[in-house]
Structure 1
Amino acid sequence: MPRSYDTLRSARWFAPDDFRSFGHRSRVMQMGYAPTDWVGKPIIAIVNTWSDANQCHSHFKQRVEDVKRGIFQAGGFPLELPAISLSESMVKPTTMLYRNFLAMETEELLRSHPVDGAVLMGGCDKTTPGLTMGALSMGLPFIYLPAGPMLRGNWRGQVLGSGSDAFKYWDQRRAGQLSDQAWQEMEAGIARSHGTCMTMGTAATMMGIAEAVGFTLPGASSIPAADANHVRMSAECGRRIVEMVWDDLTPASMLTRANFENGIACAMAMGCSTNAIVHLIAMSRRAGHPVTLDDFDAASRRVPVVANIRPSGDTYLMEDFFYAGGLPAMLERIRGHLKTEARTVNGRTLGQNIEGAEVFNDDVIRPLANPIYAEGALAVLRGNLAPDGVVIKPSACAPHLLQHTGRALVFDDYPALKKAVDDPELDVTGDDILVLRNAGPRGAGMPEWGMLPIPTKLLKQGVKDMLRLSDARMSGTSYGGCLLHCSPEAAIGGPLALVRTGDRITVDVPARTIHLEVSDDELARRKAAWTPPPARYERGYGWMFGRHILQANEGCDFDFLETGFGRPVPEPDIF
């Protein structure tokens, strides 16, 4: 049964006949609104991550007006609340450093303002997990509005995919195979519209996961940002959140562990970004339904990659995925791997939302009998080098590297690595394993350094892939034999800190193992001699980050923000 106005959270601010409420009402009237604009209506926050520095969200200036239109149409009152934007391309040293900042900001924006529900506007990599983590902790009804992918890139008649093709052609340029003119033309053609990366990078992965978990309207995550369907979807988000508030459809009343298990299955079938693991673990822990690395690895054994989208696929991009039926069609195709009873923000179950969804191109969204990769997109390896796991994307790795033993070539920081890989005299072969450490959560904020560049010397010899190991992340648009998120990280004394150049490392992806061929006694001696690196930050947000960040296998959230850390935060005192 729908709620009455006096039970709405915002009514505490505006309904009483007292001095404080007089102040609230008069200040809203100061902005030109009349009591008829808000009395008897739910107040909806629109948390907007637009900024002039975020190319992926440049259309949000207009989309927020579309959301407001929908809220007004449904009888609500919208309040736009800007939040930190987190442009993946522009923010340094890494947006991962600020994902939890956005989560904190979202939670506190919703807590401190007179709002009853929220529309969360995001898309560029960290905005999806950051916004939803904060909203989950606050607990108000919310709906997620994904930015949508940009249009296909184009260069000299070739279709370009952001990130994936940039990495590929950059290697050709480093090898002397691409002219300055060609490179400049590519710069102008690879990103032709607003919207997120149109490959199956972290942005597309996390928007798809948000839909599979139940946070978006059906089909919302696949719509290209420049498509008129995106405008209509934005207005529908505004209408739907008003209904959600009246129905009191909160995360606690909607979510179970099944929702997040659906997110994992979806990620595997999409050929997801490796970053999906860190973000979905963090989101699930905020909701009180934690999933783990083991859940991802178990799903990878069952769920094949059926979305033929770069970088796991070799041809298509997100625009093609949308035309082929989008996420509902892919989810219908893997229905047997889903918990279809899980509820979603439109009030229906996931099973009901995808019922009858059709695939219009079997090469873009493959049948289960003809996947592009028989197992899932990710694998989690463990061993004496990574007791708490290391992640690899086997669907985007050269097959001969899935079982490999090689000599370690170790670098303690990224500048040293970057300098070395362009040295024509570097002692390296394609059988070696490049190792970068001190790039994990505490060591460096966990930037996307994990796709270590193949040495120029090897590129000129025709080497296209080699094993690379780090405690960093990599871009979801990246590919290759990259072993990532090594936990525990080197900066806190994990085994990665003890590796030396010349050590032998054995990787066996089918067996899910990684082993440093060094005796336990020798590792103990190295550990006794190890000293931690100095703290990167001595003040401010970075100082707090370094003291409270959890490891990659725990989602890299702040320990004090997780569910169960302390009693729930009370409602703000408005008297």
Structure 2
Amino acid sequence: MDQTRKTPDTLRSARWFAPDDLRSFGHRSRMMQLGYSEADYMGRPMIGILNTWSELNACHSHFPERVKDVKRGILQAGGFPVELPTLSVDETFTKPTSMLYRNMLAMEVEENIHSHPLDGVVLMGGCDKSTPGLVMGAITAGLPMIYLPAGPMLRGNYAGQVLGSGSDAWKYWDERRAGNISDAEWTGVQGGIARSAGTCMTMGTASTMTAIADAMGLTMPGASSIPAADSGHQRMGADCGRRIVDMVWEDMTPDVIVTEASVRNAALVAMATGCSTNAVVHLIAMARRAGVALTLDDLDALGRTTPLIANVRPSGKDYLMEDFFYAGGLRALMAQMASLLDTSCMTVTGKTVGENLKDAVVYNDDVIRPLSNPVYKEGSLAVLRGNLCPNGAVIKPAACDPIYYQHQGPALVFDSYPDMKAAIEDEDLEVTPDTVLVLRNAGPQGGPGMPEWGMLPIPKALIKQGYRDMLRISDARMSGTSYGACVLHVAPESYVGGPLALLKTGDIVRLDLENRRLDMLVDDSEITRRRAAWVAPEPKFERGWGWMYSKHVGQADTGCDFDYLQRDFGAAASEPDIF
């Protein structure tokens, strides 16, 4: 890149340490207290390593070791590494959902960067919400940044069967509910489905979001595909450390990388991978932090024309992320679809997408298909509109039974997750395969935080008859490892008076995927009457983070970011004038 290189005296960190004044005396004194001499850090780029490790985040359990690799690379390149712990938004243990805290992570990242003497940052994440949270905050902060993805865990295994995170858990749970597997088999699956550090090894939300960051140019090329347990992941960590130091000297900031074209590349790659439905809400939020006005309609248009070519569960049928890596990984997939991409986009390497893909090879064209032989002719996602979702809803056609692409049936409506959970275990529940299960009050405010409740369980009465899919609708999200005929992210959500709040049990609901429609077959006059009678629910929070969240979170169609954190609320935060 033809840019003026920084010099030691123009480093941002020099403002803390270089002046001969009382404040800088205090800063240098405290560095000495930490055991450092001026030779360790003066005139060197100070690199913040923002680490989302915690002892309750299994996906990031290798980060205490990986951060050592990053530090090694930074030191080799002449930088000075400092590790800053940040909020660990794991999906497994955080209730009701880590999505409630994605924006908290984004705020913490932005404020950590602004308030400390950092010249650049390495972002360490992977579990679902950590990627968008880290990237959103770093984009807004505006310093050179590089993203280090946690990497997928190894394949699951039980009794000679390959297991995929989440996807096989749902499958075996249904078989257990049907009485088809024993306690011992269930325990065996439990112990075999997560065998190493790393994120879910299906193309769930974690692998989707790290692939998006990779395709956007924010990682070392292909970094998102490297399994967490592979020694290549250690080498990639050191590469990140070395490269971020050069990025500081080159003054390569996120605005050079995250552009309208690179966001489009990321969306295309997401569609081609069979991405999680969560990609919609996160990608929109990430894009808007960079001033790119990505919309649901943009994503639907790309989905209609982008073949799904990654044969990875749950949208694919046969393979997992480890197989995807051995087949060539994300670089190979991007090379396979290079004709659809803008290969002139700049990346953190200082090279273009096209330059980074030059030697990419597909080693197994059943795992990474050519465009001429896709897993599914269109992309992973489709956006619906209609009188149930005027602002949009999302479905994953490749992961559901095609018989539901055109479907009409009576609604069975639940107002809460506990009510739904209890009802579906009732073997006398009045339900048929045509019934449309509906869960409402599970959106951004109603959940709160839009939990992953959207893959409503098949009622036990139908499970025992052999049914494994049915049409389900909610204003919730679902795990990226989930599958089935699930309509999600209904906007506006029912909790704020969206049309889903007006639906009644017995109303006929019609899904028309080809025409992207989702409607309740209820007269407009009746809908108007119901709306006039609707009473808003009591607020869920009176104080704290929940109160702040409920006052400022956006709806699913706009990315669920806080209104005051988006570009259109005001200019991006400037450096504090404290020196």
Q: One-letter code of the match for 2:348? A: V
CA distance in 2, matches of 1:252, 1:280: 16
CA distance in 2, matches of 1:429, 1:140: 56
CA distance in 1, matches of 2:257, 2:374: 32
Of 136, 152, 155, the match for 1:152:
155
> Normalising to structure 2: TM-score of the pair?
0.99
Q: Would you say 1:188 and 2:196 are equivalent positions? A: no
CA distance in 2, matches of 1:237, 1:535: 44
Of 450, 470, 479, the match for 1:466:
470
Q: Would you say 1:50 and 2:53 are equivalent positions? A: yes
- Contact 2:216 / 2:257 at 8 angstroms: preserved in 1? no
Q: Would you say 1:344 and 2:347 are equivalent positions? A: yes
Q: Report the equivalent of 2:435.
A: 432
Of 101, 104, 128, the match for 2:104:
101
Q: Report the equivalent of 1:5.
A: 8
CA distance in 2, matches of 1:264, 1:163: 23
Q: Report the equivalent of 2:573.
A: 569
Of 224, 246, 250, the match for 2:249:
246
Of 219, 235, 239, the match for 1:232:
235
Of 547, 553, 556, the match for 2:560:
556
- Contact 2:49 / 2:83 at 8 angstroms: preserved in 1? yes
Q: Report the equivalent of 1:33.
A: 36
Deviation at 1:571, TM superposition (A): 1.7
The C-alpha deviation readout for 1:88-134, integer Å capped at 9, x for no partner, is 11111100000000000000000000001000000000000000000
The C-alpha deviation readout for 1:262-288, integer Å capped at 9, x for no partner, is 111000000000000000000000011
Q: Would you say 1:89 and 2:92 are equivalent positions? A: yes
Deviation at 1:456, TM superposition (A): 0.5
Q: Report the equivalent of 1:539.
A: 543
SS of aligned partner of 2:136: helix
SS of aligned partner of 1:418: helix
- Contact 2:426 / 2:460 at 8 angstroms: preserved in 1? yes
Q: Report the equivalent of 1:413.
A: 416
Of 455, 460, 463, the match for 1:456:
460
SS of aligned partner of 2:385: strand
CA distance in 1, matches of 2:304, 2:358: 25
CA distance in 1, matches of 2:181, 2:577: 63
Deviation at 1:289, TM superposition (A): 1.2
SS of aligned partner of 1:505: strand
Q: Would you say 1:478 and 2:461 are equivalent positions? A: no
Q: One-letter code of the match for 2:464? A: K
Task: State the aligned residue count.
Answer: 575
- Contact 1:13 / 1:574 at 8 angstroms: preserved in 2? no
CA distance in 2, matches of 1:363, 1:265: 20
Deviation at 1:352, TM superposition (A): 1.3
Q: Report the equivalent of 2:297.
A: 294
Of 504, 508, 513, the match for 2:512:
508
Q: Would you say 1:495 and 2:499 are equivalent positions? A: yes
SS of aligned partner of 1:144: strand
What pairs with 1:96-495 in structure 2 (closer than 5 Å)?
96-444=99-447, 445-495=449-499
The C-alpha deviation readout for 1:150-198, integer Å capped at 9, x for no partner, is 0000000000001000000000000100100000111111100000000
- Contact 2:415 / 2:440 at 8 angstroms: preserved in 1? yes
Deviation at 1:354, TM superposition (A): 1.2
The C-alpha deviation readout for 1:284-335, integer Å capped at 9, x for no partner, is 0001112111111011111111000000111100000000000000001111
SS of aligned partner of 1:441: coil
Deviation at 1:478, TM superposition (A): 0.1
Q: One-letter code of the match for 1:450? A: G
SS of aligned partner of 1:472: coil
CA distance in 1, matches of 2:358, 2:490: 40
The C-alpha deviation readout for 1:407-458, integer Å capped at 9, x for no partner, is 1000000000000001111110011100000000011110000000000000
SS of aligned partner of 2:186: helix
CA distance in 1, matches of 2:479, 2:18: 49
SS of aligned partner of 2:445: helix
- Contact 2:443 / 2:494 at 8 angstroms: preserved in 1? yes
Q: One-letter code of the match for 1:117? A: G
CA distance in 1, matches of 2:301, 2:573: 35
- Contact 1:212 / 1:263 at 8 angstroms: preserved in 2? yes
- Contact 2:314 / 2:481 at 8 angstroms: preserved in 1? yes
The C-alpha deviation readout for 1:37-75, integer Å capped at 9, x for no partner, is 111111000000001010000000001111000000000
CA distance in 2, matches of 1:374, 1:255: 28
CA distance in 1, matches of 2:58, 2:343: 35
- Contact 1:304 / 1:368 at 8 angstroms: preserved in 2? yes
The range that moved more, 304-313 or 351-360, is 351-360
CA distance in 2, matches of 1:377, 1:454: 23
Deviation at 1:369, TM superposition (A): 1.2
- Contact 1:201 / 1:272 at 8 angstroms: preserved in 2? yes
Deviation at 1:572, TM superposition (A): 2.4
- Contact 2:140 / 2:573 at 8 angstroms: preserved in 1? no
CA distance in 2, matches of 1:498, 1:346: 51
Classify 1:75/1:443 alpha carbon distance in 2 versus 1 (closer, same or farther; 3 Å).
same
Runs (4+) off by over 3 Å: none
Deviation at 1:254, TM superposition (A): 2.9
Classify 1:356/1:557 alpha carbon distance in 2 versus 1 (closer, same or farther; 3 Å).
same
CA distance in 1, matches of 2:402, 2:390: 24
Which 5+ residue runs of structure 1 have no aligned equivalent?
none
SS of aligned partner of 1:355: coil
SS of aligned partner of 2:446: helix
- Contact 2:271 / 2:303 at 8 angstroms: preserved in 1? yes
CA distance in 1, matches of 2:157, 2:92: 20
CA distance in 1, matches of 2:359, 2:396: 31
SS of aligned partner of 1:210: helix
Q: Report the equivalent of 1:526.
A: 530
Deviation at 1:7, TM superposition (A): 1.2
SS of aligned partner of 2:574: coil
CA distance in 2, matches of 1:84, 1:165: 29
